[in-house]
Amino acid sequence: MKLINDYPHISYEIPILPIEIVQKRAFDYYQQLDCRRTIRDFSDKPVPKSVIEDLILTASSAPSGAHKQPWTFCAIEAPSVKTAIRVAAEKEEYESYTHRMSEQWLKDLAPIGTDWEKPFLETAPWLIVIFAQATGLQREKHYYVQESVGIACGFLIAAIHNAGLATLTHTPSPMNFLKTVLKRPDNERPFLLLPVGYPADDVFVPKLTRKSLAEMAVFY
Ligand code: IYR
């Protein structure tokens, strides 16, 4: 233990693995995450609350600006709350799909096959709504809020996949209704909604390819 600016710092070590093991783990994790797909049809098969708690704890291990941890995870299994969210989300999504989204946007979404109907908001056993805290409850400064919460959501999506469950990054727009339905305080802004559960039987996903390394990475 030593003090830096009068704050305690503890010694930290990660095991130094043989390079063959590092290579294998890097490749295996790529393969594992590369199997992840967004699904839109969920089974109602239950998922224990303890699993959701562990997934949220994993998300909350993400780095954040000045370690302010500017996130709130609202986990919903109550059918009445899920129904309230579905009704409000579909109202907004209907407006978006019929009036607000541009021709180009609708064209870009056509291969994915989305529409304004969001049955997964009631079918999935859990919804996790992630809120970003613009400040603390007493207006304390928070830093890099979007980046921090985005990283935490990335951890969460990876953890959900690793656990053998599925999710979907749902961003109803506008999504301020989530703040009302979930009675969140003024410092919080809705960031993302993730239904969590098992895929329905016979799920289909768009036939997509991912960019090659050469298309999306530059080495110097
Ligand atoms: N939020 C809408 C529309 C939507 C937008 C994008 I960009 C997507 O990649 C998928 C959907 C919806 O959830 O349907």
Beta carbon of 93 within 6 Å of any ligand 1 atom: yes
Alpha carbon separation from 164 to 35, 103, 197, 198 (Å, rounded): 11, 36, 9, 8
The whole-number pLDDT of residue 180 equals 97
The whole-number pLDDT of residue 19 equals 98
Name the nearest CA neighbour of 63 among 170, 161, 149: 149
Which residues sit opposite 74 in a β-bridge?
A: 129
**DSSP letter assigned to residue 200:** P
Beta carbon of 146 within 6 Å of any ligand 1 atom: no
Q: What is the mean pLDDT of residues 18-33?
A: 98
Beta carbon of 92 within 6 Å of any ligand 1 atom: no
Q: What is the mean pLDDT of residues 7-18?
A: 97
Q: How far is the CA of 171 from the centre of ligand 1 (A)?
A: 7
Q: How far is the CA of 114 from the centre of ligand 1 (A)?
A: 7
pTM of the model: 0.97
Q: What does the pLDDT look like over 58-106, one tens digit per residue?
A: 999 999 999 999 999 999 999 999 999 999 999 999 999 999 999 999 9
Beta carbon of 169 within 6 Å of any ligand 1 atom: no
The whole-number pLDDT of residue 114 equals 95
The whole-number pLDDT of residue 168 equals 98
